[in-house]
Chains A and B, each alone.
Chain A
C-alpha cells in the first residue's frame, strides 16, 4: 500500500498484526497492515464497527503493542520500546483527542491544555499557546473547570492540548462522535487549519463521511485489513465507497 508523495513519513505500520484472545475467542483485530502516514497531511481512517480502526490508532500511538510486525513514529521503532519508553514518546511526540472524557476535571482549561508540557517539565511557548487557543476560540474560557464548559468547548480544549506541545502527530478517535453537527464542524475546521497553516500531521478515526471529507486522504479498513483508500475525499464519494464496502 504505498501512496507515497515523496514527503517524509510521520507514522508507519509494517505487516502489523494484533491478536486478542486465544483459541476460539481469538480475534485478529489487525491482520497484516502496511500503511504510511506522511508528514503534514490529514488522514481519516474509516470502516465498519469492529474493523480495527481504534486498535490501529492505539498501536501507532504507543498506547498498545503489536502481536507481530512493526510500527514506527518518525524514525522510532515503537515495537522495541518498553512501557516507559512508549510513555515518553506519547508525552513528547503525540497528541490525543478522544471521543469524550478528554479533560482532567480538577484542572482548569488552561491547565488541561498545558498538561503534557507540565508533565514533561517543559516550558510553555506562550506565543504558540495563544495562537492555538485563539484558533479554537476558547480564550475567554481558560480559567474554567471542564464541568463549566459545553461538550464542544471541552473537545476544543482537548484539541488545543493535542497541539500545544507541537507533537509529531495528532491522533483523534471519533473526536466529533459526541458533538452536535455545528460544534463538530467547528472542531474539524480547526483541525483542518492546523494541518494547512502549521503543517500538523493528523490521523483521525471517524464514522462520519462528512468528517472524513475534511481529510486529505481516507483509508478504509475491514476485518483488520486495509481494503481501499481515497485521496481528496468528498462526503458523497466516501459514502458511496462505504456502501460499496458494506455490500
Chain B
C-alpha cells in the first residue's frame, strides 16, 4: 500500500507541487512568525543583558511618574548607598527621551519610531553599557559622545561641533564615539547621545536628582545580599532590585509589548493554514474521484476499504511531512527577509542569530502535518467506499452526498455563527466577547462555505452573463464548466472567500476608524493646529509651546502632559493641562461641571471611571504620586476624551512630577487672523524644534488617513499569504479539471475551437470561480466588519463601508482568477487534439 501511495504522489507532479505549496506557505508563515518574534525578544534580552551586565543592584523609585517612566530619586541617596557595606561603586544616572542629534547639513536625525535617548556618562565602566571606541568620554558640560550607529548615520567626525535638540537647540563638541555593549551590535535603531552627568541632569530638569542609582558589589558579596542591605537604608517609595531581576523585568516588558504582534502574525498564519486545509481537501476530493476506477481495481483484487483509505492517508502524510519541513525552513528565510526589510527602513536589529527554538519547529510541523492529514480524511473515507464493481463501469462517480443536507448544515452553521455574533452584544467581559466574535466569524465563514455549493449556480449565471456576451461560445462553455461541479467550484471559491472576507473586515474597520476619528476630532477639538512629536510617543520640551505662544497671530495654546499615579492602589495615567487655554481647545463632553471648575487641588474624571470608584462631583479623593499622597476634590465629570480618565491642572502636574514634557500641544489663531498666516508663524517658531511638527486640522486628518491606510496595507500584505494560497487552489482545481476534461477539450478542438478560445474558456471558468469567492468574501466581510465596529463601540461611532475600495477588491479577485488560469489555460490550449480524442 505504501508503494502504491508513493506512486500516487509521484504520478502527478503538478498536483503534488501545487498542493504542497499551499502547505509550505502556511507553515512558513507560522515558523516565520515564531522565528521573528523570538529573534526580536532575544535582541532586547541581549540589550538589557548588556545594560545590566555589571550592575548588581538598581535603586529607583517604586512608582512611575511623568510619561510612565520611574519618578526620579533624590541625589542625596547616593552617599548613603556608597556607605553601605559591600558596595564597591554606586553611580547615579540621568536620561531623557526625545534627544535628537542634528546632522551637519541641518537635518534632524530621526528614527522609524525607535526611541532617541540622552544618557549621562560614567567612568565606572562596570556600570556603563557604553564603551568609548574612538576619542574620549565627555568631561565638560559642552562635550558629548554619541553611539557609533548615530555617528555613522549622521556622518559625524570627532572634534566637530554638533547640534543636539533636547529642551532646546544647543551646540556641543563631539569628543568620542561609543559602542553599546562593547560589541558591534546596534541599539535596535535607537540613537544615544552621552552627556556629562550635570549636563544631562540640567537638560532633563533633574538637578539634584537621578533616574536611578546603579550599584556594583565588592567581590564576594552577592547581589541579593547587597540589595537587602541597601534596601534597609532607603526611604519609603524608593526600592532596590538586583540587576538580574531588573533585566528580566525590562525584558519581559518588551516581550509583553511584542506579544500582541506575535499573536497577530500567528493569527494571520493560522488563517493561511485554514485556507490551505480547503485546498488540500479539494485536491484530494478531486483526485480520489479521478482515481475511482484505479481504487476499485485495488478493491477488486482484494484490498479492503480500510486499506484504500490508509493509502490515501499515507499519501497525505507523506505530502504533509515534505511540505511542512520545506515550510519550516522557508519560514526561516522569511524571518531573515523581514529583518532585512526592517534594516532597509532603518529599524536595524542587532546581528543576533535568528532564533530557531524547538517550540517553533514542533508547532509548525505538527500544524502542517496535522492539517494535511485532517483535511484529507473525508476524501480518504470516501475513497474507501468505492465498490469493487466500479472498476468495470466506465462512468462510475461517487454519489456526492445530498446537496440538500450539506446546504442545511451550512445554513445551520451560518445561523449559529450569526447567533454567536448577536450574543456578543449582550454579554460582557472582553475575552468572552472576543471569543464569541471569533467563533461566530469562523462559523459564519464555514457556513457560507457550506451553502456556497448551492449559490454557485445562480452566482455563476449572473457573473457569467456578461462574460458570455463578450466571449460568446467560449464564455458560455466556461460558465457551464464553472457550474458543472458546484461543490468543487464552491470549495475552491470558499478558500478565496476567507482571505477576501478578512480583507473586507479590515477595510471596513479602517474606514470606520477613520470616519469615527474624524467625527471625534470635530466634536472634541475646536483646535485649528496640532503640534505632535515626529517620533511617536516621544514627549517634547515645553519650550516648543512657549515659542508658539510668543507669535502674535497665535491665540490660545493648550498643553497636555501625561503622568502615572495611583488611585485606590491601582496604577493610572492622568493628563495635566494648562487652563484656561486648553479648555478652549478640547471638549471632553462634560456631564457635570466643566473646565472652569478645574482649579489646583481638583481633578476631572471620566464618568465611567468615577462610577467604578463611587465618586461624584464634590467627592474627596487621594491621588498617590511618587512624592506622596495628595488630597483632591472631584471638580467635574466628562464622558468622552481621547485622553485618559483623569485631568488635573498643569500647576498640580508641575508640583508632583519631576520631568516636564508635553505629549501634544494644540493652538488656535487669534480671532480674525488668517489661519495660513498663523500656521506660517507657528512653523517659524518651531524651526528650532525638529522633534515636533505642526499640522492644521485637515493635514492631521490626511495624516491619520494615511496612517490607517498604511495599517490596512500591512494587514492586506499579511493576508496575501492566504490569498495566494487560495489562488494556488484555483490553479490546482483548474489543472485537475483540464486533465479530467482532456477528451472533451479535444472534441472542442476537433470541431473547430481555436486554441486561443480554449484558453478563453478556461479563463472565464476561473474568473467566475474567483469572483464568486470575491462576492461571498466581501459580503461576509462587510457583515463581520459592521458587527465588529458596532460591538467595539467606544469612540467607534461611525460605521463606514468603503464601497469604492470593495469594488476594487472585487475587480482584483477577477484579476486573480485570470492569473490563476494562465497555466491551466495554456495547458488546455496546447492539448494535442489527436491524443485527446484517442485517450482511453
Contact = CB atoms under 8 A, between A and B. Distances in A.
Interface of A: 58, 63-64, 83-84, 87-88, 90-92, 96, 98, 101-107, 115-116, 118-121, 161
Contact of A91 (B484, B743, B752, B833): B752
Contacts of B483: 106
A106 B752 contact: no
Interface stretch (B304-312, B472-480, B786-794): B472-480
Nearest to B746: A101
B751 A91 contact: yes
30 contacts: A63-B834, A64-B834, A84-B754, A87-B749, A87-B752, A87-B753, A88-B752, A90-B751, A91-B753, A96-B751, A98-B750, A98-B837, A101-B743, A101-B747, A103-B747, A104-B477, A104-B744, A105-B484, A106-B477, A106-B480, A106-B481, A106-B483, A107-B477, A107-B480, A115-B473, A118-B472, A119-B751, A119-B752, A121-B472, A121-B473
A78 B656 CA distance: 99
Given A87-B752, A91-B752, A102 B834 contact: no
A119 B758 CA distance: 11
Contacts of B748: 104, 115, 119
A83 B833 CA distance: 11
Contacts of A96: 750-751
A83 B484 CA distance: 30
Contacts of A118: 472-473, 476
Contacts of B744: 101, 104-105
Given A104-B744, A104-B747, A120 B752 contact: yes
A89 to B, nearest CB: 8
Given A63-B750, A83-B755, A115-B748, 17 more contacts: A87-B754, A91-B751, A96-B750, A96-B751, A98-B837, A101-B744, A105-B744, A106-B477, A106-B481, A106-B484, A107-B480, A118-B472, A119-B473, A119-B751, A119-B757, A120-B752, A121-B473
Q: Which 4 A-B pairs have the closest CB atoms?
A: A91-B752, A106-B480, A118-B473, A90-B752
A63 B755 CA distance: 13
Given A63-B833, A104-B477, A104-B744, A116 B754 contact: no
Contacts of B747: 98, 101-104
Interface in B740-787: 743-744, 747-755, 757
- Which residue, of B476, B483, B752, has the highest number of chain A Cβ atoms within 10 A? B752
Interface residues of B, number: 23
B750 A119 contact: no
Contacts of A58: 834
A15 B751 CA distance: 26
Contacts of B837: 63, 98, 101
Contacts of A106: 477, 480-481, 483-484
Nearest to A55: B834
A159 to B, nearest CB: 13
B833 to A, nearest CB: 6
Contacts of B476: 118
- Which residue, of A58, A84, A119, has the highest number of chain B Cβ atoms within 10 A? A119
B480 to A, nearest CB: 3
A171 to B, nearest CB: 10
Contact of A92 (B752, B753, B754, B755): B752
Contacts of A90: 750-752
- Which residue, of B476, B743, B750, B754, has the highest number of chain A Cβ atoms within 10 A? B750
Contacts of A87: 749, 752-755
Interface in B453-477: 472-473, 476-477
B664 to A, nearest CB: 65
Interface in B788-836: 833-834
Nearest to B743: A101
Contacts of A98: 747, 750, 837
Contacts of B480: 106-107
A68 to B, nearest CB: 18
Contacts of A105: 484, 744
B401 to A, nearest CB: 19
B400 to A, nearest CB: 14
A179 to B, nearest CB: 15
A43 to B, nearest CB: 20
A116 B472 contact: no
B555 to A, nearest CB: 74
B751 A115 contact: yes
A48 to B, nearest CB: 18
Nearest to A61: B750
- Which residue, of B480, B483, B743, has the highest number of chain A Cβ atoms within 10 A? B480
- Which residue, of A63, A83, A104, A118, has the highest number of chain B Cβ atoms within 10 A? A104
Interface string B723-752: 000000000000000000001100111111
A120 B476 CA distance: 14
Nearest to B474: A119
A12 B747 CA distance: 24
Contacts of B754: 84, 87
Nearest to A99: B837
A121 B483 CA distance: 23
A88 B749 CA distance: 10
A212 to B, nearest CB: 23
Contacts of A120: 752
B752 A116 contact: yes
B828 to A, nearest CB: 14
A115 B483 CA distance: 19
Nearest to A118: B473
A115 B752 CA distance: 9
A119 B656 CA distance: 86
A102 B743 CA distance: 9
A40 B481 CA distance: 38
Nearest to A115: B751
- Which residue, of A90, A92, A161, has the highest number of chain B Cβ atoms within 10 A? A90
Interface string B317-350: 0000000000000000000000000000000000
Contacts of B743: 101
B218 to A, nearest CB: 89
A64 B834 CA distance: 7
A82 to B, nearest CB: 11
Interface in B381-429: none
Contacts of B755: 83, 87
Nearest to A93: B752
A119 B753 contact: yes
Contacts of A102: 747
A91 B753 CA distance: 7
Interface in B468-506: 472-473, 476-477, 480-481, 483-484
Contacts of A101: 743-744, 747, 837
Nearest to A104: B744
Contacts of A161: 751
A209 to B, nearest CB: 25
Nearest to B839: A101
A120 B480 CA distance: 19
B477 A116 contact: no
Contacts of B834: 58, 63-64
Nearest to B484: A106
Nearest to A95: B751
B560 to A, nearest CB: 68
Nearest to A147: B395
Contact of B751 (A64, A84, A116, A121): A116
Contacts of A83: 755
B295 to A, nearest CB: 22
Contacts of B833: 63
A130 to B, nearest CB: 21
- Which residue, of A83, A101, A107, has the highest number of chain B Cβ atoms within 10 A? A101
A14 to B, nearest CB: 22
- Which residue, of B483, B748, B833, has the highest number of chain A Cβ atoms within 10 A? B833
A21 B828 CA distance: 24
